[in-house]
Chain A
Amino acid sequence: MTAEVHPIRTAAETELCEAFASAKARLPGGQDVAARREAAFHRFEARGLPHRRVEEWKYTDLRAMMRDAKPLASPPDAAAKARAKTAAQVLGDVECRRLVFVDGVFAADLSDLDALEAGLTVRPMAEALAAGDPLVKGYLGKVATAEDDVALSLNTAFMGDGAVIRIAAGASLDRPLHLVFAAAGDAPASIFTRSLVVIEKGARAMLVESHQGAEGRDYQVNTAIELVVEDEAHVDHVKITREGASALHISSLVATIGARARFNAFAFTTGGAVVRNQMFLRFDGEGTVAALRGASLLAGRQHADVTVFADHAVGGCQSRELFKSVLDGESRGVFQGKITVRPDAQQTDAKMMTQALLLSETAEADNKPELEIFADDVQCGHGATAGKLDEDLLFYLKARGIPAKEAEALLVRAFVGEAIDGIEHAGLRELLMDAVIAWVAARD
């Protein structure tokens, strides 16, 4: 048991308590939602911010890292919206339907809600909470067993806006849905967004989330997305995290996946001072294939943590995890992966691989794979590597006339490319490879 009593609160914890007390009356939703918020907040109050003795947060000691809690963001002004417009272009030429959130608030005027494809419904979360939307009532907070997580509890307590999306059975979206989260204001702020996406039986959708903010701004993001992937649905999810240099970003992806479905998730991180990408995934139907991948490219004193829980609650599913990090300067890359195979989940095939490439002597990689297997007829495996660029390979490239910097760039691209190649959408694959090339070019 890690439940503890904390008579002494940190400044951030105290500020969160004050913020909740003063804001709870105006947060969206009726009585039932308010009760949900209270319950979630109590979970936080009882345990405080996660710290290094909480196993799941071992390498990302939020209590130490979060010196304060920023005030809840005010609604965006015109200047913020103008800046968000630029942020919305992050996908370049990739054709998509954009839903833009500025400092956590849905901006209809920046979003593209015209001619929605048949079977696609979109609603802002704040509105859905206030109206008692049945989809939200049915699913919110019930998607997978992640409520125990304090960061997600804080999200539930403070959730403001976000997207509520439903893709009807059999529907297929023509272009990716792009959720743009722009922290575009000036003042220090904390932003809580919550989204719910229900992809019904046999539907096909691609979701892209991008998170970015002003370089100089001091802000904190706690974002969560719940995904319900029904039987035979095919869903791709790509999350691009390019927060500003001072930002704290905590993200939770919570998904339940039905039978014979396909689910691909990719987490790409280059920005933010402290980033935590957590994924809670539950396999709820047999015959599903899921691929979870990601790449973090970090420099300076950046810290990025990817923590994945894959719960094989039923048998006959395949999961593949491949997470790469490229670490320069004094940055730190963390990967924690836990695969649980329940007693009846026979024929589970789960594999997890994490690889860190250290470009400096002072960078640090922490890899922690965990397997918890209760069934006896399964295939599970994990691997973890951490190392620097291979000197012999560098010499081979240089001996062919390729200058040292270019040779390094080629090897970094190849390293990250292995993960990015798994993204099915060619435009996004190219976009992320270009981002890798730009990141490498910006080194030194």
Chain B
Amino acid sequence: MALLEIKNLQVTVDGREILKGLDLTVNAGEVHAIMGPNGSGKSTLAHVLAGKEHYEVTGGTVTFEGADLLALEPDERAARGLFLAFQYPLEIPGVATMTFLRTALNAQRKKRGEPELSTPEFMKLVREASKKLGVDQDMLRRPVNVGFSGGEKKRNEILQMALLEPKLCVLDETDSGLDIDALKVVADGVNRLRSPERAMIVITHYQRLLNHIVPDVVHVLSRGRIVRTGGKELAHELEAKGYAGYQDEAA
């Protein structure tokens, strides 16, 4: 059974059809890259998978480990192992990063019927994970993402990913707003999480992220459909030729 199976997914936002029959199958252990021009529906796909409101699914199915993903609330999807790394991580004034991480982790554990972590257990986990990612302890005491640089925010996303140990990570333009050094740090963090049990969907406009997170499969999304699928060399081709051909093709 595939980890994620999307069949003929059609999604409308504010009366406009964005996804027009998207098919995608992702197996455990695989890293898929989804590339495409602006407005092709990349972020819509990420948000629909995570369960954001105001995205109306007008057709198709999405199954996650065989279950109907679209019938689940966002928090239930997360507890089952779906993680969306946000393109623009939000700032939450007044909520300390530690409190946020702990509430999230324990809420997921509770939903899965696992015991909640004690404070020392949790602290140990966070310390280890943050060390590997080079996340400053001081950052953890600050309110979530408040006053963080773009790089710190993305690192914080990857830290959450590492702690929550999802089965499927969806990275929505994780490279946006990062300089090359920050990009390397984030990519290293992601690579460390690659495992035979875990799959990833890396959504990006540029090939440069894929130099660091090397995908197994590359898809081209254009006008709400996957129009081409290939190996990692497809990303290089896109980098050289641009998306112009695909925009024409889809028109």
Do chains A and B interact in one complex? yes
Using CB atoms and an 8 Å cutoff, list the residues of chain A in contact with chain B. Answer: 391-393, 395-404, 406-407, 410-411, 413-415, 417-418
The contact of A398 among B75, B93, B94, B99, by CB within 8 Å, is B75
Chain A residues, CB < 8 A from B86: 396, 399
Q: Enumerate the 9 nearest inter-chain pairs by beta-carbon distance, A residue then B residue, closest first.
A: A414-B94, A401-B78, A401-B108, A400-B104, A398-B74, A396-B90, A398-B75, A414-B95, A401-B107
Which A-chain residue is minimally distant from B163 (CB atoms)?
A: A400
Q: Please state if A401 and B111 are interface contacts (CB–CB under 8 Å).
A: yes
Select from chain A the residue with minimum beta-carbon distance to B52: A395
Docked pose: A99 CA to B79 CA in angstroms: 51
Residue with the highest number of chain B CB atoms closer than 10 Å, among A392, A398, A399, A403: A399
Bound-state Cα–Cα, A402 to B51, Å: 13
Judge whether B222 is part of the interface by a CB distance below 8 angstroms.
no
A414 lies within 8 A of B93 (CB): yes
Contact A418 B93 (CB under 8 A): yes
**Is B103 positioned at the interface, with any CB of A under 8 Å from its CB?**
yes
Cβ-defined partner of A400 (8 Å) among B52, B93, B160 = B160
- Given the complex, which residues of B lie within 8 Å of A414, measured CB to CB? 92-95, 143
- Enumerate chain A residues within 8 angstroms of B83, measured Cβ to Cβ: 399
Bound complex: CA A395 to CA B92 (Å): 12
Instruction: With CB as the reference atom, state the residue of chain B lying closest to A409.
Output: B103
B53 within 8 A of A: yes
Identify which of residues 49-102 in chain B touch chain A, using a CB-to-CB cut-off of 8 Å.
Answer: 50-53, 73-75, 77-79, 83-84, 86, 89-90, 92-95, 99-100
Q: Which residues of A sit under 8 angstroms from B50, Cβ to Cβ?
A: 395, 399
A417 to B95, CA, bound (A): 9
Q: What is the CB-to-nearest-CB distance from B28 to chain A, in angstroms, rounded to a whole number?
A: 20
A393 B74 Cβ-Cβ under 8 A: no
> What residues make up the interface of B, taking CB atoms closer than 8 Å to A?
50-53, 73-75, 77-79, 83-84, 86, 89-90, 92-95, 99-100, 103-105, 107-108, 111, 143, 160, 164
* Chain B residues whose C-beta falls within 8 Å of the C-beta of A401 in the assembled complex: 75, 78-79, 104-105, 107-108, 111, 164
Contact of B103 among A391, A406, A418 (CB under 8 A): A406
Q: How far is the CA of A392 from the CA of B145 in the complex (A)?
A: 14
Residues of chain A within 8 A (CB-CB) of B92 are: 393, 396-397, 411, 414
Chain B residues near A404 (CB-CB < 8 A) = 73, 75
B73–A398 CB distance below 8 A: yes
Considering the chains assembled together, what is the distance between the CA atoms of A315 and B164 in angstroms? 55
Which residues of the other chain, B, contact A398 by a CB distance below 8 angstroms? 51, 73-75, 78
Secondary structure of the A contact surface, majority rule: helix
Q: Which residues of A contact B78 (CB under 8 A)?
A: 398-401
Q: Do the beta carbons of A395 and B53 come within 8 Å of each other?
A: yes
CA separation between A404 and B52, bound complex, in Å?
Answer: 12
Q: Do B94 and A403 touch across chains, with their CB atoms under 8 A apart?
A: no
Q: How far is the CB of B213 from chain A (nearest CB, A)?
A: 21
Report whether A400 and B164 are in contact in the complex, using a CB–CB cutoff of 8 Å.
Answer: yes
Contact B51 A399 (CB under 8 A): yes
State the CA gap A396–B89 with chains docked (Å).
8
Q: Do the beta carbons of B107 and A417 come within 8 Å of each other?
A: no
A-B contact pairs, 8 of them (CB 8 A): A395-B52, A396-B89, A397-B92, A400-B78, A400-B100, A401-B107, A402-B104, A407-B75
B74 touches A399 (CB 8 A): yes
Contacts of B52 in A (CB 8 A): 395, 399
Contacts known (A399-B84, A410-B95); A393 close to B90, Cβ less than 8 A: yes
Query: Are A413 and B73 touching (Cβ within 8 A)?
Result: no
CB distance from A399 to the nearest CB of B (A): 5
The residues of B that contact A403 with a CB separation of less than 8 Å are 73, 75, 107, 111
Q: Considering the chains assembled together, what is the distance between the CA atoms of A397 and B164 in angstroms?
A: 13
Q: How far is the CA of A393 from the CA of B84 in the complex (A)?
A: 14
**Interface contact B94-A395, CB-CB below 8 Å:** no
Contacts of B103 in A (CB 8 A): 402, 406, 410
Instruction: Report how far A391 CA is from B55 CA in the complex, Å.
Output: 14
Residues of B within 8 A of A399 (CB): 50-52, 74-75, 77-78, 83-84, 86
Give, as a whole number of angstroms, the nearest-CB distance from B144 to chain A. 9
Docked complex Cα distance between A185 and B107 (Å): 45
Residue of A nearest to B54 (CB): A391
Complex-state Cα separation, A414 to B93, whole angstroms: 7
Residue of A nearest to B99 (CB): A410
How near does chain A come to B34, taking the closest CB pair, in angstroms?
18
Residues of B within 8 A of A410 (CB): 95, 99-100, 103
B107 in contact with A406 (CB, 8 Å): yes
- Complex alpha-carbon distance, A411 and B78, angstroms: 19
Q: Is the CB of B94 within 8 A of A413?
A: yes
Instruction: Give me 16 other A-B pairs in contact (C-beta within 8 A), A399-B83, A414-B92, A414-B95 excluded.
Output: A391-B53, A393-B92, A395-B52, A397-B104, A398-B75, A399-B51, A399-B52, A400-B100, A400-B160, A400-B164, A401-B79, A401-B105, A402-B75, A410-B95, A414-B143, A417-B94
List the B side residues contacting A393 at CB < 8 Å.
90, 92
Least Cβ–Cβ distance between A415 and chain B, in angstroms: 7
